[in-house]
Amino acid sequence: MSVDKVKRSEQKTLQIPWAAVVWLIISAFVFVIGGYVVTLRDVERFPGDFELSTEPTDSENTVKADIVAGTFEYNVVPELSNSVETGTFDETTDNPVAANLFENIPDITQVTIEPQTITITYDNDVEPDMYIRRAQRPVINAVLNDGATITSRVASDAEKTLVFMTSDDEWRYGSYVPALIPEGQQEVYETREAGENGSEMAQFIFERINSLQALTINRDSLIVTYREGAVENQVISRLQEALNEFHPRASLQPDLWVFTIAASSERIMDIIPINTGIPLFLYTLVLAGIEFAAFFSLRNSDDKLIRPLLRVVAVFLFFWSIYGHEPLWDFTLGLIFPSSTQLVHPNATVIEFTAQHLELVFVSSLITIPAGLLFGIIVTRDEFRELLPLVNNLVNSGQTVPTIAIVAFMAPIIGFGFWPAIIALVAYGLLPVVRNTIAGLEAVDPFIIDSARGMGLTPSQILFQIELPIASSVIMAGIRTSMIINVGTATLGAFVGSGGLGTPIASGLAMTVDSFILLGAIPAALLAILIDYVLGRIEFVLTPRGLQIEN
Amino acid sequence: MIEFKNVVKQYPNGFRAVDNLNLLVHEGEICVLIGPSGCGKTTSMRMINRLIDISSGEILINGQPNTELPAEELRRQIGYAIQQIGLLPHMTISDNIAIVPRLLKWDEDRIRTRVDELLDLVGLDPDISRDKFPRQLSGGQQQRVGVARALGADPPIMLMDEPFGAVDPITREVLQAEFLQIQERVGKTIIFVTHDIDEAIKMGDRIAIMRDGHLVQYDTPDTILAHPNNRFVRDFVGTDRTLKRLGLIRIKNLMDASPPTCTLDSTVEEAKQCFVDYGAKSVFIVDKDDGTLKGWVDKEELKTNTSLLDAMYEAHWVDIAVRQDATAREALSAMVARGFRVTPVVDRHGKLVGTITLKALQDLVSYDPTSTATTEAVSNVG
């Protein structure tokens, strides 16, 4: 007894509020990362490659490189100058938008373009819903507009006709030239030395091109003087490379990099650096504080409820804000695929995909868990014990059939979308719950039940007060397994259009965009870990304390 | 009072686990059901609280058939303790003990008082044990809690199925002794199932020996040991049943309460006179003030010695005496081991209160004509 006491007091003095320390470390980490990852106002992605055209100048060894174009992505929303020509077009049209649509969407017979509406008539037997999905991307691409603002529907008054509409005033299309520095400014470096101490872009260019002797940076051109004997073409190509290399850095150094839209629009997109980690940083600091407080106020109590649940909520919110932090995903994927022009998915944000994914997992679990518990409880009652092998076989076969096969079977029967995926998930997730419920209930010492009966407990009292509490940890383990399996399996739902994190994976595989695959895979893996953690804590809370004591 | 009337338990396959059992258990008595495995003893016990249904016949509890109440209500009025204890591992000790009181909707204050009282009764400190979980207790402590739980709502009847079967022999003896003390205070009517004849003899006011679903003999332990009904009972109680009988008798009922005594400062003459008065071969020497046994002196020694102190064999009472609350069996064992025909009997402070002779033990059991073998054995040892 006295030895016991000594041990316990020793443990007390050695206790460290690890949770609080971990949150502190995370908050520091978030602050640093958040300083790098910058939310860009007005523009979501920087445009890609530069095109230079060179023209000779009067001075020797000097060339003027004009930036004539930068490509850009459809999810960039620059205001473009040229309105789309309206009218009705057939396959022979030379209207760029219509021609683009004819090229990219099979079996179209006619395209009508109005200021806010594109109507497509097609001729094949594909389901309209499927077809509209197929046509969406080419339409968005063709008019170079923001995907999120285009809505689509199947025309109700005409057969085999799709209607795409924008909430913006008009369709626009065009191209632009990115500007290197704001309008009306100029940077002049007459010597290498000056350039090496100049602006970051100047430093970068001088560092890359050894033969560079003088440089003038205008809004949309560079005037380059190179060393005698250097090959002009090489200088130009190095310049091109340097600019393109500088571009990914722009997202980290937004104050250096300003774009203008060419042609008629002179609007400068202001890019203001924000430490996007600040809210998350503050949140983690508060969590560290709460953990400290909880540590000091609860350390002498046998708290088994407050702290685990507090942590569950805190960890979930933390992960959730990471899911919601689109620039972070952009930044991370940019680190992995520096040369990729497409990083985040154009159709939806990561948090939207994740929310859809969670919806799939939770809705299927809402069916799986009660059904599994019910099956497990019923077949372990004496009256229905003959059903035990039958139910066992049934749930076993549910897991034997590949999910993708169930999905494939369901699609023709009940169509595409959410519910076929749910059916597959339920069929697949039922086994662990049923099996663990049976195992947990069967493992309850029969003598405990005998003594309970002998004391006069009714069968339902025995079930709810004795069998279920004792089996709770085994049952929870089954629920946990089932939900984790479902997080993985739900990605397959994307093949029938259920949404979720499988969508970027599927489109990444179809379009061979590696970053999309990771954009689905990484959050899905994180989600599995997160759900496992949350359920693990819930399991801990639900397991009666008397059962957590080792024999 | 529990009465079995022509009770039969027949299983669907025709096997009769209990066949026409008639048994009357008196109020406040411990009735031990004993017999080899499969004799129907546990089945009979479990039919009382209807954990097993009766096929025909009836069981009367205080004159009422036990089928009158719903099974659950009946069971709440009958304490139930089993060998495997069956404590609920997810509940604290106090919650375990409070199960039946809670089912009976006692108020919490009363339950709390009752739990503490019961923990005290079974020899556990309520302040330490109350909030512990079953897994934190030793096997013996768990058995005590099992007994306390069976006593929870103060039921007049208790069913106990080898309640001390799962602990080591030493703990079992302690628990048995403690339980007998508890029973002295609470006076329950107890059906006690065991397969251990020693336990049956020790615990039972009456023993019901069963075989193949039939009652073979139902009597007090002493009668069963002295007059086994038939060969089966004789074999079952064992060839050492005479020794077992001795185990039932306390020395204090058997001893000679006026032993030949001298004090330490007696003279040799006084001692010699003592030998004459008692006609004994040895005289015990005690302390003059508190009567503690200090040793003994033999007649022969007095002839050669002039001082009593020189003549006496000095020994601590623990080494030469038996306690007055020991059983005759223990006394016999001590005498055989030490080679005494007479051994002093002391109280727990070592005060000499009497003597017991081998002859007295022999006389006790030798009236039984069927136990000649044992009596001979005892004589040979003597």
List of chain A residues whose C-beta atoms are within 8 Å of the C-beta of residue B149: 455
Question: Is B72 in Cβ contact with A454 (below 8 Å)?
Answer: no
CB pairs under 8 A between A and B: 81
CB A85 within 8 A of CB A113: yes
- On whether any CB of chain B is under 8 Å from the CB of A56, the answer is no
List of chain A residues whose C-beta atoms are within 8 Å of the C-beta of residue B76: 455-456
**What pLDDT is recorded for position A78?**
42
Find the residue in A nearest to B102 (Cα).
A457
CB B206 within 8 A of CB B220: yes
Those residues with Cβ within 8 angstroms of residue A50's Cβ, 6 or more apart along the chain or in another chain: A67, A69, A70, A178, A240, A243, A244, A247
Tokens of A175: 């191209």
Task: Please check whether the domain covering A50-75+177-269 is classified as CATH 2.130.10.30.
Answer: no
List of chain B residues whose C-beta atoms are within 8 Å of the C-beta of residue A544: 89-91
Domain layout of chain B by residue ranges: 2-239, 251-363
The alpha-carbon gap from B221 to the nearest alpha carbon of chain A, in Å, equals: 28
Question: Is A448 in Cβ contact with B86 (below 8 Å)?
Answer: yes
Domain layout of chain A by residue ranges: 2-39+275-323, 50-75+177-269, 82-173, 347-548
Q: For residues B135-161, b (16+ Cβ closer than 10 Å) or e, as one string? A: ebbeebbbbbbbbbbbbbbebbbbbbb
| E strand or H helix that includes residue B322 | strand B322-323
- On whether any CB of chain A is under 8 Å from the CB of B317, the answer is no
Quick one: which of A37, A163, A466, A252 has its CA closest to B88?
A466
Quick one: which of B107, B201, B192 has its CA closest to B150?
B192
Question: Is A454 in Cβ contact with B49 (below 8 Å)?
Answer: yes
Question: Is B149 in Cβ contact with A450 (below 8 Å)?
Answer: no
List of chain A residues whose C-beta atoms are within 8 Å of the C-beta of residue B48: none
Find the residue in B nearest to A548 (Cα).
B90
Per the listing, tokens 């009666």 go with A544
The alpha-carbon gap from B137 to the nearest alpha carbon of chain A, in Å, equals: 9
ipTM attached to this prediction: 0.76
Rounded CA-CA distance B143/B147 in Å is 6
Q: Count how many residues are written for chain A.
A: 551
- pLDDT digit string, tens, across residues B190-232: 999 998 888 998 899 999 999 999 999 999 998 898 888 889 9
Tokens of A189: 């470096």
**What pLDDT is recorded for position A71?**
45
Per CATH, the homologous superfamily of domain B2-239 is P-loop containing nucleotide triphosphate hydrolases (3.40.50.300)
List of chain A residues whose C-beta atoms are within 8 Å of the C-beta of residue B191: none
Mutate to test the interface with A, among B73, B76, B90 (most CBs of A within 10 A): B90
Q: Which residues of chain B have a pLDDT value below 70? A: 367-382
User: Interhelix angle for A18-36 vs A306-323, to 10°?
Assistant: 10
| Half-sphere exposure in the Cβ direction for B321 (13 Å, CA) | 31
Per the listing, tokens 């219509």 go with A98
List of chain A residues whose C-beta atoms are within 8 Å of the C-beta of residue B84: 445, 447, 450-451
Quick one: which of A351, A251, A354 has its CA closest to A39?
A251
**What pLDDT is recorded for position B370?**
52
Rounded CA-CA distance B178/B199 in Å is 13
- Chain A 486-545, CB below 8 Å of chain B: which residues? 544-545
The alpha-carbon gap from B209 to the nearest alpha carbon of chain A, in Å, equals: 24
**What pLDDT is recorded for position A169?**
63
List of chain A residues whose C-beta atoms are within 8 Å of the C-beta of residue B160: none
- On whether any CB of chain A is under 8 Å from the CB of B340, the answer is no
Question: Per residue of chain A (551 residues), what is the pLDDT tens digit?
Answer: 444 444 444 445 567 788 888 889 988 888 887 776 655 433 444 444 566 777 777 777 778 877 765 543 323 334 444 567 788 888 888 777 788 788 878 888 888 888 778 888 888 877 777 788 778 777 876 776 555 567 777 777 777 888 888 776 666 665 555 667 766 778 899 888 888 888 878 888 888 888 888 898 887 788 888 888 888 888 888 888 787 776 655 544 444 555 544 333 334 344 455 666 778 888 888 988 988 888 888 776 667 788 888 888 888 888 888 888 777 787 788 778 876 667 777 777 888 899 999 999 999 999 999 999 999 999 999 888 888 888 888 888 877 888 778 777 777 887 788 888 888 888 888 889 999 999 999 999 999 999 999 999 999 999 999 999 999 999 999 999 999 989 998 988 888 888 889 999 988 888 888 888 998 999 999 999 999 999 999 888 888 888 887 65
Q: Which residues are bridge partners to A154 per DSSP?
A: A162
Domain at A347-548: CATH code? 1.10.3720.10
Which strands, in side-by-side order, build the sheet including B282-286?
A: B261-263, B282-286, B293-298, B313-314
Find the residue in B nearest to A459 (Cα).
B72
- On whether any CB of chain A is under 8 Å from the CB of B86, the answer is yes
CA distance readout (Å), A147 to A329, A498, B370:
19, 20, 108
- Chain A 410-469, CB below 8 Å of chain B: which residues? 445, 447-458, 461, 466, 469
Mutate to test the interface with A, among B88, B135, B157 (most CBs of A within 10 A): B88
User: Interhelix angle for A418-442 vs A468-489, to 10°?
Assistant: 150
Nearest CB partner across the interface for B99, out of A449, A455, A549: A455
- Chain B 119-148, CB below 8 Å of chain A: which residues? 133-136
Tokens of B160: 């106990």
- Amino acid identity for residue A337 in this structure: F
CB A351 within 8 A of CB A324: yes
Question: Is A470 in Cβ contact with B136 (below 8 Å)?
Answer: no
Find the residue in A nearest to B155 (Cα).
A455
Rounded CA-CA distance A292/A275 in Å is 26
CB A24 within 8 A of CB A211: no
Taking all residues of chain A, what is their mean pLDDT, rounded to a whole number?
A: 78
**What pLDDT is recorded for position B308?**
79
CA B223, B226, B231, B235 torsion-angle sign: positive
List of chain B residues whose C-beta atoms are within 8 Å of the C-beta of residue A549: 133, 135-136
Task: Please check whether the domain covering B251-363 is classified as CATH 3.10.580.10.
Answer: yes
**What pLDDT is recorded for position A271?**
45
Question: Is A451 in Cβ contact with B82 (below 8 Å)?
Answer: yes
- The class of domain A82-173 in CATH terms is alpha beta
